[in-house]
Every structure is written in C-alpha cells, then in structure tokens.
Amino acid sequence: MKYDWIDKYLLGKPGVTKDLQPDWNWIRYQIGGKMFAAICRDDDNKPVYITLKLEPLEGEFWRRQYEDIIPGYYMNKTHWNSVKADGIVPDEVLKDLLNKAYGIVLGSFSKKKQKELSGDE
C-alpha cells in the first residue's frame, strides 16, 4: 500500500481506536465507537481501499478530481468514499480527507462527549 503512514497518523488523533472487522477483513478506525475510516483488505490481507466518511458534496467533488476516489466500497455511496490503496491521490489530500472524516464523526456527538473524546475535558 502506498499510504503506509495511515495507521500511525489516525491513531495519533485523540480518542481514536481501531479494530479488525473479521467478516469483511477491514481495519476500522473509530471515535466513540463510530467508524470514520477503514482500510479494506482482500483475502490475502493486501489493502485495496481506504474508505472514509465525507459530506456528500465534498465526496462528489473529490471523485471528480481523482479517478482513484470512488463511491464507498460496500458502504452508503452518498456519505462514504473509497480511495484506491495504490492510487495517485497525494498524501496531503488524503490526510485532509481523513481529517475531515474524523471531524464529521466527532462532530456528531454532543459537545460534552466531543470534549471527552478529544481529551479537552
């Protein structure tokens, strides 16, 4: 996978946990038990897609910019997008998208819970 920095990058964010969803062979990144990103792997454990949550209009925009960004793989095509793991999306763009995905899910919690999850209590 081209984006070998993702695991360390996402786990460096406040409140992020990861697990393996064995039925799908996905490494899921969550905050407060809600997934915001995942590394989708094939039967040989090779990463195929990085799937992340975006606002619908933003997702559409990025899919028009890069052929390696597609509607969410096995996910709701409106709110989820997948980036090919060996694609051409620049690291900085993918980091920005991952930051937005994190922010969307964090923002779905109450202000009190957001402070708790982000360590700003």
Query: Could you report the per-residue pLDDT of 69-78, keeping only the tens digit for each?
Result: 999 887 878 8
Given a cut of 90, whether residue 38 has pLDDT beyond it is: yes
Q: Tell me, what CATH number does 72's domain have?
A: 3.90.1150.30
R_g over Cα of the chain: 14
Mean pLDDT for 56-64 is 95
Given a cut of 90, whether residue 118 has pLDDT beyond it is: no
Task: Give the helix ranges, DSSP H, for the chain.
Answer: 6-11, 56-65, 91-106, 111-118
Residue 31 counted as domain residue: yes
Mean pLDDT for 31-58 is 95
pTM score, two decimals? 0.94
Mean pLDDT for 85-90 is 94
Tally of domains in the chain: 1
Residue 60 counted as domain residue: yes
Mean pLDDT for 98-120 is 92
Residue 1 counted as domain residue: no
Which residue range forms the structural domain that includes residue 79?
A: 6-118
> Among residues of the chain, what percentage have pLDDT more than 90?
85
pLDDT of residue 121: 60
pLDDT averaged over every residue in the chain: 93
Indicate the burial class of 57 (C-beta count within 10 angstroms; 0-12, 13-18, 19 or more).
exposed
Residue 15 counted as domain residue: yes
Query: Could you report the per-residue pLDDT of 13-29, keeping only the tens digit for each?
Result: 999 999 999 999 999 99
Residue 12 counted as domain residue: yes
